Amino acid sequence: MINVYDESKNIFNILLETWHVNLLPSSCELSIELNGSWELNLTHPLLGDGRWKYIKPGAIITAPSYNGIQTFRIVKTELSENEITALCYPIFMDAANWVFIPNLEIAETTGADAIYQLNKYIINTLNLRNAYFTLKSNLTSTASLSLKNVNLITAINGDDEDSQSIVNTFGGQIEFNNITCVINEKIGNQTPVEYKFGKNITGLRKTLSREETFTRIYPISKDGYSITGDQPWLDIANAPFENPYARSVVFENLEVADYIDKNAALRLYTAFFIAAKSQSNENFGKEAESYEIDLALLNNTNEYKAAGYSQKVGLGDMVHISAPEYDIDFTAQITKMTYDCIRDIATSVTVGQPVKDYFQTNSLRTIPKDLQSWMIKEG
């Protein structure tokens, strides 16, 4: 059942509300991407009973998802002579408008403890209403984090790959569940389930990409220093390509002005960065390999039930794709999926490496940030 609630309803008790309007949409699809955007797109005919009139910006939608009934906020509608369409975001995205963090310094600690401190900061420092937005995590990696003039959404996952944020600093994968945001080392069921082309896969498209690949790093410190000399870079060991793929990286936690040997400091820090990335991501330095597959009611397959769980296929689940006729034998996470909220099933998924690990700027942020240009100083 897909319902709409008036904007005035309390979102923290929305699933307990008795007043709502049942919708009869012609389509309602949820498109989600691992550590990327979640969007619900709904199309509703202009029925004579007028229920479509409740579909307006600010209203709240509840709809089935792979992880249960989820709540969304309508952010845009378009009306034509026959139908109305609505674009909706998860209700947790309201935190971008409600929870602003002027300054929070978190010393060296685990990701789970950093999130605990962030939760505590929200409760003790900010308006109590903001405390309804809760973060949960099992991250064990350690680092320090500095959050300045950001909303909670940007604090969680930034808006570019160099942002100071939980995910960019500690790693992790994100899952929204109404007013809770889970940031775990991995989400989804980690027991691989077998899917075969021609059986429970009805369509398959393989993509290999080097658009986001880098095997060579030109490091830049926070205070603007780079390595000088004939080789101002570090390469990832055992990179699989003949030609390098280079990228400059600004290390926001590193200042080298006080070091006598600035080159050595930059090289050592970059070496630790490469080692940490290589340990946490087996695909680091390689081309991205992904598979977009069309599914045949995965939640009803014997393989899925035999794996020990009966719930629907979900974001982050491990799957094994087998298509011998195309020389494909691949095990990876579901990184992107389209979910039909009317039929309550996944209709297509992408399996492989996430293309990015940060939020895009398109409507997931409300606080603008000036981009700085760095002056490279001689060491």
pLDDT of 168 reads: 85
CA distances from 254 to 34, 223, 257, 278 (A): 29, 8, 10, 20
Task: Check residue 368 and give its pLDDT.
Answer: 31
pLDDT digits (tens, 9 = 90+) for 2-12: 999 887 776 66
CA 124, CA 16: separation in Å to the nearest integer? 27
pLDDT at 367: 30
Residue with token string 């903001």: 130
pLDDT score at 236: 86
What is the H or E stretch that residue 348 is in?
A: strand 345-352
Residues with pLDDT less than 50, the chain: 309-311, 355-379
Token readout for 155 is 């604090």
> CA 1 to CA 62: how far, in whole Å?
8
Amino acid at 73: R
Helix (H) or strand (E) holding 126: none
- Structure confidence by residue, pLDDT tens digits, 68-84: 999 999 999 999 999 99
- The reported pLDDT for the residue numbered 339 is 93
C-alpha to C-alpha distance for 221 and 227, rounded to whole angstroms: 9
State the pLDDT at residue 93. 92
Domain ranges of the chain: 3-92, 99-184, 193-210+287-352, 216-280
Query: Domain 193-210+287-352: which CATH class?
Result: mainly beta
Question: Hey, what are 254's tokens?
Answer: 């590193």
